[in-house]
Chain A
Amino acid sequence: MSSRPELKAPPEIFYDDVEARKYTYSSRIIEIQAKLSERALELLALPNDGVPRLLLDIGCGSGLSGETLSENGHQWIGLDISLSMLDIALEREAEGDLLLKDMGQGLGLRSGVIDGAISISAVQWLCNADKSSHEPRLRLKAFFGSLYRCLARGARAVFQVYPESLAQRELILSSAMRAGFAGGVVVDYPHSSKSRKEYLVLTCGPPSINTELPKAKLEDEESCSDDESSGEEENQTVCIADRHRPRKKQKTTKKGKGREWVLKKKEQMRRKGNAVPLDTRYTARKRKARF
């Protein structure tokens, strides 16, 4: 992809009438969105009892993903920030209720009423500051906080995202963890740059059998082993993160912090995405007493 839409304009401006129509009526996009929605619905792991559920479609756009939800018999509420896209959803007679809403302002839904949430190619828009009053971290916090509240216990949220960089993926994941979600990232076809798709699977409530991450898809349709470690393995396509639960602080009697500690901290900061100076032989060297 030569350039990302998020870098061109805010979503309500980028998806104007012309672009919205182009997007919705491109057969390629329709096919891709249908596949992504099917996979997201699969990852939602709703109980297979034939009872329709109330789902949320975040960034529903012109209703392409909502169609998949309706086809599977569910009721859904869709929200999007672009009126042009929603107008097209009306044209296509989307069966879910549509809301003109900015997800970064908080969802405004009552607690525990939603049975599941999906979002196809939308959450990455939150990471950009589209207005001078925007602060992406606060918007992500408002979004994930309100989402956590409105989901029923044990419900899941599945987001198919196109993160721009590792830093952005980390930003989204850490905001979700801070809101109380557990879960991780499922990457389908990780080695193919064309078919590679990332799904952020978040669960509400304490971990249980339901919250184990599903198997990711590999190229030759074999599923990879359900490996829970997040090491540097080649075929690592599933990683698990949990909410940081605060431990009781104990008085430490350390004689200051050594080089090892400093290196560890620097590595942590790097993983967060901060700019950290390189490690050299001068890192954490002893300074003169009056430094």
Chain B
Amino acid sequence: MRLLTHNMLSSNIKGVTNGFPLGIEVEKVIEKQVDFNPDFLKNMLLKIEWKALVDASRSLGYAELPEEAPESSVIDSDDFLRKLHHALLELHLEEGALVCPQTGRKFPVNKGIPNMLLHEDEV
């Protein structure tokens, strides 16, 4: 599961008002090569929750992203975009778990696929 997806996922367990962002428990991270596309990244920047992305990438072991969401002058720099690309699309959580921030419920991640199925009492 890439951080792009993690940035969009929230916990929708019944009764949870703030299910974003999901905590990450890491057991195995792999890196995959993905084609670099600056247009896509710039488009995504508008939708990404920056802090959640930075925290998530730190927990996966990548600390190159700046703390603050960048200014428009920095956005176009190739260096920044490459770092964003790497964090967003090339880091994969293979084994581990996602944790609901409010209830602490764990969603296990196996072979890169998070199991987000809710139990009957959580719907």
Point out residues on A near B: beta carbons under 8 Å.
50-54, 75, 77, 79, 81, 83, 86-87, 90, 97-102, 105-110, 112-114, 131, 133, 142, 146, 150, 152
Q: Which residues of A contact B7 (CB under 8 A)?
A: 110
Closest to A49 in B: B39
**Interface of chain B: mostly helix, strand, loop or mixed:** loop
The reply to whether B113 and A52 form a contact with Cβ atoms under 8 Å apart is no
CB distance from A157 to the nearest CB of B (A): 16
Cα A115 to Cα B14 in complex, Å, equals 26
Interface centre among A53, A105, A109 (most CB of B within 10 A): A105
Q: Which residues of B contact A75 (CB under 8 A)?
A: 4, 40, 89
Q: Which residues of B contact A77 (CB under 8 A)?
A: 5, 8
Q: Which residues of A contact B118 (CB under 8 A)?
A: 102, 105
**Interface of chain A: mostly helix, strand, loop or mixed:** mixed
Contacts known (A52-B39, A99-B114, A105-B12); A110 close to B20, Cβ less than 8 A: yes
CB distance from A127 to the nearest CB of B (A): 17
CB distance from A30 to the nearest CB of B (A): 22
Stretch at the interface among B23-31, B42-50, B56-64, B66-74: B42-50
Cα A101 to Cα B114 in complex, Å, equals 8
The reply to whether B20 and A98 form a contact with Cβ atoms under 8 Å apart is no
The reply to whether B4 and A105 form a contact with Cβ atoms under 8 Å apart is no
The reply to whether A52 and B37 form a contact with Cβ atoms under 8 Å apart is yes
Q: Which residues of B contact A86 (CB under 8 A)?
A: 113
CB distance from A92 to the nearest CB of B (A): 13
Interface residue? B120 (CB, 8 A)? yes
Q: Which residues of A contact B1 (CB under 8 A)?
A: 97-99
Q: Which residues of B contact A152 (CB under 8 A)?
A: 47
The reply to whether B10 and A108 form a contact with Cβ atoms under 8 Å apart is yes
Closest to B5 in A: A97
Q: Which residues of A contact B103 (CB under 8 A)?
A: none
The reply to whether A81 and B5 form a contact with Cβ atoms under 8 Å apart is no
Contacts known (A105-B123, A108-B11, A109-B9); A90 close to B116, Cβ less than 8 A: no
The reply to whether B10 and A90 form a contact with Cβ atoms under 8 Å apart is no
CB distance from A79 to the nearest CB of B (A): 8
Cα A190 to Cα B49 in complex, Å, equals 45
